[in-house]
Amino acid sequence: MVVLGFGVYLPSGNTHAHDSDEKVMESPTQLGRGQVGLNPTIYQTYELIPHRLNQFASASYRHTFRNNDGYRFGDEYMLNAGLNLVATPWLVLTGQVNYRYLVHDNFSSSLLRSATPADGAGFPGDPIPIDDTIKNRAVPNTGSTYYAFTPGFQVGLGQLIESSWTNMTSLYFFAQIPFERDSNNSLAQGTSYIFGLTRSFQVTNPS
């Protein structure tokens, strides 16, 4: 089975938050991106052993357009592949490998540097121009490469305990463990955990 998808990120979230000096913070530190993003996806799955073992794979790409401040967040590429094993009627074990690549952010501007004591009378003072040309420039400390292994399980409570409270209800838990990462001297993602409960409801009775 192959499923294609397409999503759109709307420009929600604050993009003009101020720091303690009441100056507008840089775009990477804002809650919002300030521009529309596009997100095509593809998902594939196949039963290797019917009702027992299946493999799955997915890929996605995200592109965010340049915002009104001249800043564009880097494109994101994600690949995932793994296996689901039905160990018992109520327990499904999962293992998958995840890959994420973030391209450098870039901004459209001239290039300046801070004044230093070597600049003599110019220190302290206004930033000193290095290149007055307005053009797209990569942000050096953005972008990253990330590999992780994610084991997990799902427990079908309805199959484990028969009752009206557990019918069509399941618990799940996943741990994403990075085994290689390059964060360009920025914050690096550590091991993360996801857990929760899902429940399905039948709105209409079958005829």
> Per the structure block, which two tokens stand in for 56?
């799955």
Instruction: Specify the pTM.
Output: 0.81
Rounded distance between C-alpha atoms, residue 89 and residue 172, angstroms? 15
| Residues of the chain scoring pLDDT < 70 | 122, 206-207
Contact 12, 35 (CB under 8 A): no
Domain ranges of the chain: 2-104+143-199, 105-138
Q: What local confidence, expressed as pLDDT, does residue 134 receive? A: 77
3-state secondary structure of 140: coil
Number of alpha carbons in the 13 Å side-chain half-sphere of residue 89 = 6
Rounded distance between C-alpha atoms, residue 199 and residue 183, angstroms? 37
Tens-digit pLDDT profile for residues 58-109: 999 999 999 988 899 999 999 999 999 999 999 999 999 999 999 999 998 8
